[in-house]
C-alpha cells in the first residue's frame, strides 16, 4: 500500500545533506560563521530553507557538524605528520609546521576554527578540537621523554602551551582585518613566521637552542 524509505531515497537525502555541509563550509570559508546565513546556505545548496531543518536540528547544530568535519581534516594531517619517521623532536617539528602552514594557506577557515567568536555549541567543538591537537602533541612529547630526546616535563601542560603559542601567533596574521587588505600574503614572510614560532616551541619543549 504504502511508502517505505528505499535505498534510492536514502542516498538522495544523504547527498542533499552533504551538499548542505559543503555549502556551509564554503560560506564559512568566505566570511566566517557569523556571515553564514541559513537562507544563503539553502539557496547555494539548491534546497528550501526549511529543508535544512530536515537534516539538522538547528543552525548551531549544522555549524557544529561543519566545524567537526573541517577540524577532523586538520587534526588528521597533524596526526599524519606525527606518524612519520624520526625521533619525537623532528616529528613534532614537522607537525607544528603542518599545522601552521595549512592555517596560513586557508586563512579564513583557519581563523574561523581558531579564533572567530562563535556560539556555544561550536565553541564546545572548538575546545574539543584544541584538546585533540593537544592530545596528539602530548603523546609525542611522552615518546620524546621515553626515548630521551625531550626532558622530563608535564606533557599535558606543554602540549597546551604549544597549541596556544601557535594559535596566538596565527591570530594576528589571520584576522579578517588583515585578510582583506590587498597586500597579499608574502610566502616568504609566512615562512619566517612559521620558523620563529617553531623555534620558540621547540625550545620551550627541549630547553635547547639550535
Partner DNA sequence: TAAATAAGTGAATCATCATTCATCCTTTAT
Partner DNA sequence: ATAAAGGATGAATGATGATTCACTTATTTA
Minimum separation from the CB atom of position 174 to DNA (A): 22
- Which of 151, 186, 187, 189 lies at the binding interface for a copy of itself (CB under 8 A)? 151
CB-nearer residue toward DNA: 43 or 84: 43
d(CA 161, CA 195): 17
The site that binds a copy of itself (CB under 8 A) totals a number of residues, namely: 39
Residue 196: contacted member of a copy of itself, DNA, none (CB under 5 to 8 Å, by partner type): a copy of itself
Answer for which of 43, 84, 154, 189 binds a copy of itself (CB under 8 A) is 154
Give me the DSSP letters along 97-155.
HHHHHHHHHSHHHHHHHHT----HHHHHHHHHHHHHHHHHHHHHHHHHHHHTSS-S--H
**Site for a copy of itself, residues 82 to 121, rule: CB under 8 A:** 116-119
Interface contacts to DNA, rule CB under 7 A? 1-6, 8-9, 12-13, 16, 37-39, 46-51, 53-54, 58-60
Minimum distance, C-beta of residue 129 to DNA, in the bound complex (Å): 22
The yes or no reply on residue 172 touching a copy of itself (CB under 8 A) is yes
Please give the Cα distance from 105 to 124 (Å, whole number): 25
Is residue 201 at the binding interface for a copy of itself, with CB under 8 A as the rule?
A: yes
Please calculate the CA angle 61-64-68 and round it to the nearest 5 degrees.
140
- Residue closer to DNA (CB basis): 66 or 201: 66
Residue 66 is classified by DSSP as H
Q: Which residue, 65, 55, 100, is CA-closest to 81? A: 100
Q: Give dist(CA 173, CA 150) in Å, integer.
A: 30
Kindly list the residues in this chain that would bind a copy of itself in the complex (CB under 8 A): 116-119, 123, 127, 130-131, 151, 153-154, 157-158, 160-169, 171-172, 175, 193, 196-197, 199-201, 203-209
Amino acid at each position: 500500500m504504502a511508502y517505505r524509505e528505499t535505498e534510492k531515497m536514502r542516498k538522495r537525502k544523504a547527498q542533499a545533506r552533504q551538499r548542505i555541509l559543503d555549502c556551509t563550509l564554503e560560506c564559512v570559508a568566505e566570511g566566517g560563521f557569523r556571515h553564514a546565513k541559513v537562507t544563503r546556505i539553502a539557496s547555494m545548496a539548491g534546497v528550501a530553507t526549511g529543508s535544512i531543518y530536515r537534516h539538522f536540528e538547528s543552525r548551531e547544530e549544522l555549524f557544529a557538524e561543519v566545524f567537526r568535519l573541517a577540524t577532523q581534516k586538520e587534526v588528521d594531517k597533524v596526526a599524519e605528520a606525527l606518524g612519520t619517521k624520526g625521533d619525537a623532536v623532528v616529528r613534532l617539528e614537522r607537525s607544528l609546521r603542518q599545522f601552521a602552514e595549512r592555517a596560513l594557506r586557508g586563512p579564513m577557515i583557519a581563523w574561523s576554527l581558531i579564533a572567530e567568536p562563535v556560539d556555544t555549541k561550536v565553541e564546545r567543538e572548538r575546545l574539543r578540537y584544541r584538546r585533540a591537537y593537544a592530545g596528539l602533541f602530548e603523546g609525542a612529547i611522552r615518546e620524546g621523554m621515553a626515548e630521551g630526546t625531550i626532558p622530563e616535563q608535564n606533557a599535558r601542560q606543554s602540549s597546551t602551551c604549544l597549541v596556544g603559542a601557535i594559535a596566538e601567533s596565527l591570530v594576528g596574521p589571520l584576522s579578517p582585518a588583515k585578510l582583506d587588505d590587498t597586500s597579499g600574503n608574502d610566502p616568504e614572510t609566512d615562512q619566517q613566521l612559521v620558523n620563529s614560532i617553531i623555534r620558540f616551541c621547540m625550545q620551550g619543549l627541549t630547553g635547547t637552542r639550535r
